[in-house]
Amino acid sequence: MALRLHDSLTRRLQDLRRPNPDDAKDVFTFYCCGPTVYAPAHIGNFRTFVVNDVLRRLLELEYGAAKVRHVRNLTDVDDRTIGQAKKEGRPLGDITRHWTKLFHEDCAALNCLVPHAEPTATGYIKEQVNMIEVLLQKGNAYRAADGSVYFKLSTFPEYGGLSRIRERELQVTNTVADADHKDSVSDFALWKAYKPEEDGDVRWPGPDGAAPGRPGWHIECSAMSKALLGDTIDLHSGGVDLLFPHHENEIAQSQCCNGTTFARHWYHSEHLLVDGTTMSKSKGNYYTLRDLLDQGYSAPAVRYALLAGHPRKQLNFTLDSLHAAESAIRTLHAYRATLPTTEDVNDVFRPVQEALHDDLNTPAAFGALFTIINRRETDATRASFDRALFALGLDLDAASPAQTTAPSAVTALAEQRWAAKQAKDFAAADALRKEITAAGWSMLDRKDGYTLEPVKK
């Protein structure tokens, strides 16, 4: 079954188009907007990145790892990063390096595959300036009195195709403080002229005829994706809040500059909520991965909880959902230990991937996984199970040391064994011990009872 995914532009489910299999160089190109590195990424941000990681894994399973090229940028210069550097009185690079390092640690803990390229906006200033110069030459951009450069929205009649925003709404939504320098309030900044009181020492030479300054946020992604993936990307994704204006503006810039379709497929995942409102840095209502690890939860359980809801529906985060995730992970762990390492007769866990292929339906994938487990399929093999776990990105071996509560099935076996031992039925007790070990637990006997511990690897 082909990988079908909702396309935000056509608002329909569409098969992701395969790269041309006859062309050895053809790869599937995937660009995902990355984090703004001025503060910790919260688990809401990671919902987006983990969902995108599942997409990357499915693409690899579908086309082969060598046929997928995944780029995720780092926004290391924009209003927020500059604002944070100013607040702390530290150089911009110090701030962004610090938060990038922590972001990478969290990505690794959550078992996200490393993108093939992770460009920084500051590393691609030349490419952004070049693009702005092309837009100026083509008449899609103009220099304002203060030396900033703006995109002239009226030159791109297709604007609003992604968000379906109408001209009237645009006038209201897009009003900004420095509208004075613009021809129209809907025009957006490609290049922001240096302001000493705001920008500290952050500035680069500008596009031809413009003032020194820094790029606008939107042009960063247009330039980095063009430099690393070419003029047309197969798949572009991000959280739903990026749809407008960020992605709408990326389309306008890229298509006017390159004269061709920017992205063949657009995918947006929905937000993680806390108490019914979006988790966000500005609201301060967020958990970081570190907060949760410090409370004894494991990273695989956090990943599981982030995938427990359909990615295109909002998901309310609760600690109860994490408890449930911990228990699910323990069950998976115990089950895996019972599986033979023999060759596949049939791909028993294929329904898990099929659910994911149907618009990345992660809750249906978990449903399929546990249905198969509960059926105790005799054909199930470790290889087939591991393929399903690879698609979901669940690394069971990374589960927390805090996972000291055995699943109820194991506790039941332990109770039976304890009773057998009390009855001096040692043959039955030994047989039950083997079953418990196979489920991934060891039973340690004491004079007056027993404890269960996960089997050490």
Residue 48 binds which one of ligand AMP, Zn ion, none, with CB within 5 to 8 A depending on kind? ligand AMP
CB of 99 to ligand AMP, least distance (A): 9
Shortest Cβ 102–ligand AMP spacing (Å): 12
Q: What token pair was written down for 350?
A: 């294929």
Dist CA 37 CA 100 (whole Å): 6
Residues in the chain: 457
Integer Cα distance of 432 and 334 in angstroms:
15
306 makes contact, choosing from ligand AMP, Zn ion, none, with CB < 5 to 8 Å by partner type, with none
Bridge partners of residue 274, in order along the sequence = 277
Q: How far is the CB of 141 from Zn ion (least distance, A)?
A: 19
Under DSSP, the state recorded for 247 is I
d(CA 288, CA 274): 13
Nearer to ligand AMP, 148 or 278 (CB): 278
Secondary structure E strands in 130-262: 141-143, 149-151, 188-193, 213-215, 235-239
Query: Whole-number minimum distance, CB 393 to Zn ion, in Å?
Result: 23
Binds Zn ion (CB under 5 A): choice among 3, 5, 32, 33:
33
Number of residues that bind Zn ion (CB under 5 A): 2
Tell the smallest beta-carbon distance from residue 154 to Zn ion (Å).
Answer: 23
Distances (CA, A) of 196 to 202, 203, 214, 327: 9, 9, 12, 54
268 binds, among ligand AMP, Zn ion, none (CB under 5 to 8 A by kind): none
Nearer to ligand AMP, 174 or 269 (CB): 269
Q: Does the protein bind Zn ion through residue 348 (CB under 5 A)?
A: no
Instruction: In whole angstroms, give the CA distance from residue 332 to residue 382.
Output: 11
Binding marks (x or -) toward Zn ion, 203..232, rule CB under 5 A? Answer: ------------------x-----------
206 binds, among Zn ion, ligand AMP, none (CB under 5 to 8 A by kind): none
| Residue 15 neighbours by CB under 8 Å, 6+ apart | 2, 3, 4
- Report the residue number whose CB is nearest to ligand AMP: 239
Chain position carrying tokens 């070990």: 437
Instruction: Tell the smallest beta-carbon distance from residue 118 to Zn ion (Å).
Output: 13
**Which is nearer to ligand AMP, 152 or 271 (by Cβ)?**
271
CB of 25 to ligand AMP, least distance (A): 30
CB atoms within 10 A of CB 201: 9
CB 258 within 8 A of CB 230: no
Q: How many CA atoms lie within 13 A of 400 on its CB side?
A: 23
Minimal distance, residue 1 CB to ligand AMP, in Å: 27
Instruction: Considering the complex, state which of residue 219 and residue 279 has its C-beta at the smaller distance from ligand AMP.
Output: 279
Q: Which is nearer to ligand AMP, 74 or 420 (CB)?
A: 74
What does 278 interact with, of ligand AMP, Zn ion, none (CB < 5 to 8 A by kind)? ligand AMP
10 in Cβ contact with 246 (< 8 Å): no
CA distance 135 to 8: 26
CB of residue 30 to ligand AMP, shortest distance in Å: 14
Direct distance between the N- and C-terminal alpha carbons of the chain, in angstroms, rounded to an integer: 37
Query: Residue for token digits 């657009």?
Result: 266
Q: Which is nearer to ligand AMP, 253 or 331 (CB)?
A: 253
Residue 221 or 257: the one with the smaller Cβ distance to Zn ion is 221
Nearer to ligand AMP, 36 or 384 (CB): 36
Pairing assessment for the beta strands 12-15 and 68-72 based on DSSP bridges: unpaired
Q: How far apart, in Å, are the Cα atoms of 379 and each of 2, 334, 364, 375, 431? A: 25, 17, 21, 11, 23
- Considering CB distances under 5 to 8 angstroms, the limit depending on partner class, which of ligand AMP, Zn ion, none binds residue 29? none
440 binds, among ligand AMP, Zn ion, none (CB under 5 to 8 A by kind): none
Q: Which of ligand AMP, Zn ion, none lies near 241, with the C-beta cut-off 5 to 8 A by kind?
A: ligand AMP
State in angstroms the smallest separation of the CB of 371 from ligand AMP.
28
Alpha helices by DSSP H, listed for 423-456, are: 426-438
Residues of the shown chain interacting with ligand AMP in the complex, contacts defined by CB under 6 A: 33, 35-36, 44-45, 47-48, 75, 238-239, 241-242, 271-272, 278-280
Cβ closest to Zn ion, residue 199 vs residue 248: 248
- Look at residue 221 and give the partner it binds from ligand AMP, Zn ion, none, a contact being a CB closer than 5 to 8 Å depending on partner kind: Zn ion
Rounded to a whole number of angstroms, the minimum distance from the CB of residue 226 to Zn ion is 12
**Applying CB under 5 A, which residues contact Zn ion?**
33, 221
